[in-house]
Structures are given as structure tokens and as C-alpha cells.
Amino acid sequence: MTARVYIETSIISYLSARPSRDIVVAAHQALTRRWWRGRSSYSVFISQVVIEKAALGDPTVGARRLRVLRGIPRLALTAEATELAGELVRRGALPEKGTGGGFYIGIAAGHQTRQLF
């Protein structure tokens, strides 16, 4: 059985960004691109939350990120995922600001996928 993997926006950002001169960021970009080339070994998914976050910022860069996302199946943001995201913030497991991570975790867990970030 193929592993189900939920892709969040940092993966898309590393794939679509210009090569960085920062050695750590450049390494993340290189590793992400290598994984991406082998992604056919996995069933890859995103969500509307990923699409909305990928579209933010500079319109040209946002368009590049959205092109990467084309054709990737979407998982629904369920009530359970929303509840889990809120619970993670309430219990201090995630910061209140930028609760996208909670939604990512909730969606991945609710759809029995692994989260890649």
C-alpha cells in the first residue's frame, strides 16, 4: 500500500522559490526538490488551507506556488480537523498566531495521512 502524504505550504515554498544563498535554506530546497522528484512513490494530498496560504504574498510568487499545486488531490477540512486544530492551540501545543499548523495536523490526522513539512 502506498503511503498517503499531506503536503503543507513550506514544501511548496521550497519548491517554487529561487535558489537561496543561505546554506540552510538551500539545503532544505535541495532536499525538498529531491523528495519531490520521487513523490510518485506516495499518494500526495493537499487541502484548501494549503491553496489559500500558498496564494498569499507576492502575486508572482503565489502564482508559481499555485502552479506546483495543480492536479494534487484535496482533502476536506472537516469539523474534526477544525476541532483538533483549536484543541492544539488551547492546550499550548501550537501558538495561537499562525494556526495553519493546527489545521494541517488536523487534516492529516483526520484523513489518515502523514504530514510532510
Residue 83 half-sphere exposure, CB side, CA atoms within 13 Å? 4
The pTM (predicted TM-score) of the whole model is 0.81
Domain that holds residue 29: 3-116
Q: Contact at 8 Å (CB) between 46 and 72?
A: yes
Answer for the pair 117, 10: CB distance below 8 angstroms, yes or no.
yes
Q: Which set of grid coordinates corresponds to residue 41?
A: 512513490
Number of domains in the chain: 1
**Residue 41: CATH number of its domain:** 3.40.50.1010
Query: What is the tens place of the pLDDT at every residue in 78-102?
Result: 888 888 888 888 888 777 765 567 7
Tens digit of each residue's pLDDT (9 = 90 or more) over 14-63: 999 999 999 999 999 999 999 999 999 999 999 998 999 999 999 999 99
